[in-house]
Amino acid sequence: MGDDARKFQVRLVGHDARRQYAYALRERLVAACLQPGASATRLAFGHGVNANLLPKWIKRGGPGNSDQSLSSNT
């Protein structure tokens, strides 16, 4: 399987060039980041996502937070 299979698919690119990623894919990446020894930067790079987004997604969708909070644009 090629590297393209690991990349996140962009759901929509808005008029301001912000990419929107599917909720299920964000949720999976956040869960992977929360594993012991996981590198958020390495995971982001490997999936074609800007590493600055992951801390935001983790904060919004981490343990104790509502799952729907991951559905925002960033």
Q: How many residues belong to the chain?
A: 74
CA atoms lying within 13 Å on the CB side of residue 28: 10
Mean pLDDT of the chain: 76
Would you list the domain boundaries of the chain?
A: 19-71
pLDDT at 37 over 90: yes
pLDDT at 65 over 90: no
Segments of the chain assigned E as strands = 10-13, 19-21
| pTM for the model | 0.64
